[in-house]
Amino acid sequence: MATTRNNRLRFGDFELDREAGKLLREGQPVKIQPQPLRVLDILVQRPGQTISREELRSYIWNNSTFVEFDQGLNYCIRQIRLALHDNAADPEYVETLPKQGYRFIADVHVSSNGGTLESGEENAAPEPIVTEPAPSQDLVDPGPVYRNWRRRRRFKWSVAAGLGILIAIAATFAYLTLRRQPAASREPISLAILPIANHTGNQSLNYVADGLTDDLIRQLSQVPALRLMGRTTMFRYRDRTARAEAIAKALHVNTVMTGELRRTPEHTSLAVEVTNAGDGSIVLDREYIADARDLRTVQADLQRDMLARLHVEGSARDPGRLLQSVTSNADAYQEFLQGDTLARTAAPADIHQAILHFEKAVALDPKFDLAWSSLASGHLFLGIYFEPPREQIPPARKCAERALQMNPSLGEAHGSLGLIHLLYDWDLPAAEAEMSTAGAEAAAIGTLACTVHLIESAGKPRNAEEMLRRMLAYDPQSSALIAELGCVDFYRGDYDAALRHYRDALQSDPQTPVAYWGMGKTLNAQGKHAEAIKVLRSFKERNGFEPPLLTAEIGYALGASGQREQALEIIRNLSRNPGAGFIDPYYVSIVYLSIKDRDAAFRWLNKSLDVRSSFAISILTEPKWQPFRSDPRFALAVQRMLTSKT
């Protein structure tokens, strides 16, 4: 018997016109791109059969690279489901079979005669959809296979119905039992949110993709039932080539989210897939459509869907806030995302630009707590490292307090206030109290090296290393946390261990000055001054500028190695160069320590107290000051610091 030309295939409310290359719903064209339509054509021609990803690749992608195929097929399946209004978790048309492939599960009919799709020859190949070249391999004719599959379904229906009722009762009982179980009895959900890819074709929208990723991590980390991987580690995978499953294995997580930002002339969309890394099953597969400049509802809807699909919707610290948009103003959200991206560079000029964006955000929405908190972080960062503390820290305090008025549980704002109490107020108990809020200490560590060690100066004993390693379990590639371990070892006197951690931090992020500074001061403590100078100067070679913090440590190395004149030249550059901007007097005092000029060292130390230097607090434990502790001026400086009021 000759094979029927199945050019018009019907399923549900849809019809695939293979000759015209169109998908119709009740006679009206359905918008779908050519490549997803080709994938749908393959699936519809073989209903009831499992078609592997590799088989689809051979039919459609031919010799494309593995990464392009993997991303392309995921996108095509999402587009098909979007066009068919299908649900990956409860499919009506396209079923995902973990680690096997896909199967079209709806009944398919030939429009010409209304019959079920079948052929007289089992191995005859249906013609490819019009305008596309024929596949490199013949497609297996679906007729007899599908006909037999449907007959088996009808034959077993009465038995299956009864068995299905029993299974449904058992499943319902199991589900209700599970819902009654305490969260601790379930397997913890460990989630990696990989950086959202910008596939709009407009690189200027990278800030939107990065900002959405950052915001999702920030928001979902408030859910105690989720073990969320930290943003530093996640952004290491921005230009990933590995598959999500391999990344999940490397990070020891059981759930992975991937996303793609896309744009058409009509709208912006975010395509998201959440996968169970253990069995490959899809937890969530959805494309969220939004106005080109308003992604607030997308963010809120995605968070709501993820919590529901992961069955943790009621476990957030503040579920009402978490399931809402972060701001009521679309333009404020855009300003916030731009500022958030700039702030991550840690360059002073970029921080100033970020502050301008955050200021616009809070002007547009005065109740935008995250923008107020980010404003606080920006001012605080400048006040610690680059500009006069008396100019930057007071506005940082006001912004953090404003953020906490609207959201008392906001960890970032508590972390900023904790650092202000520690570095500016020199109020150690108050700093320790602020850092006790969930998320505060991690936020503070991202801003200031040695936060944990300095907080321990408050006199409240705890295992700093144990706490840091717990944090690293959530963010294993965080250079700030790794460097913090180096700081703990440094102040213990274990310099070899400190160097190992600082080197690891440097490898994790070659652009952070903290790792260079840690290595330099550790090598100086070991008396390896020439090596310290080489490491400290390598930062400028890699990054094009030299923070005063590193310049001062170079000056200390020069003085400690007997190069007095070179050390004095460093002092002159630090204290007299009008182009250098604000120079913390504490840096100058450190260089004078190296050449054993006590009078000058204490004079500049007192100047640092006058300007409320963020580094003055370190005299309590800094080894460089150890030979001078017996000097009465040292005790006076400590007393002045701990009894002064802002």
Tell me, what's the pLDDT at 347?
Answer: 80
Q: How many H-runs (helices) and E-runs (strands) does the chain carry?
A: 28, 14
Buried (b) or exposed (e) across 505-531, using 16+ Cβ within 10 A? bbebbeebbbbbbbbbbbbbbeebbee
Output the six-digit token pair for 193.
């949110």
pLDDT at 592 over 50: yes
Cβ-based neighbour number of residue 606 at 10 Å: 16
The fold of the 8-155 domain, in CATH, is Arc Repressor Mutant, subunit A (1.10.10)
DSSP state of 252: T
Helix (H) or strand (E) holding 486: helix 479-492
pLDDT at 535 over 80: yes
Q: Given its phi and psi angles, is residue 48 left (phi above 0), alpha (psi -120 to 50 degrees) or beta?
A: left
Q: Are 14 and 25 in contact (CB under 8 A)?
A: yes
Tell me, what's the pLDDT at 205?
Answer: 83
Q: Which amino acid is present at 43?
A: L
What share of the chain has pLDDT > 70, as a percent?
Answer: 78
Q: Is the dihedral of CA 388, 394, 399, 400 positive or negative?
A: positive
CA 538/CA 557 separation, integer angstroms: 15
Which of 464, 467, 500, 462 is CA-nearest to residue 483? 500
The fold of the 340-406+413-437 domain, in CATH, is 1.25.40
Radius of gyration of the chain (CA): 31
pLDDT at 171 over 50: no
Tell me, what's the pLDDT at 148?
Answer: 36
pLDDT at 151 over 90: no
Per residue in 379-410, pLDDT (tens digit) is 999 999 889 999 999 999 999 999 999 988 88
Tell me, what's the pLDDT at 61?
Answer: 64
Residue 248 — pLDDT band, cuts 50, 70, 90?
confident
CA 284/CA 220 separation, integer angstroms: 16
**How many angstroms separate the Cα of 447 from the Cα of each of 139, 344, 417, 617?**
59, 11, 12, 16
What is the residue extent of each domain of the chain?
8-155, 185-325, 340-406+413-437, 547-646
CA 423/CA 613 separation, integer angstroms: 7
Tell me, what's the pLDDT at 308?
Answer: 85
Cβ-based neighbour number of residue 265 at 10 Å: 5
Q: What is 185-325's CATH number, 3.90.320.10, 3.40.50.10070, 3.40.960.10, 3.30.70.640?
A: 3.40.50.10070
Which of 346, 318, 481 is CA-nearest to residue 407? 318
Average pLDDT of the chain is: 79
Per residue in 332-357, pLDDT (tens digit) is 988 998 998 888 877 888 999 999 99
Q: Which residue has the higher pLDDT, 442 or 44?
A: 44
Helices in 283-368 by DSSP H: which ranges?
Answer: 296-309, 319-322, 330-343, 348-364
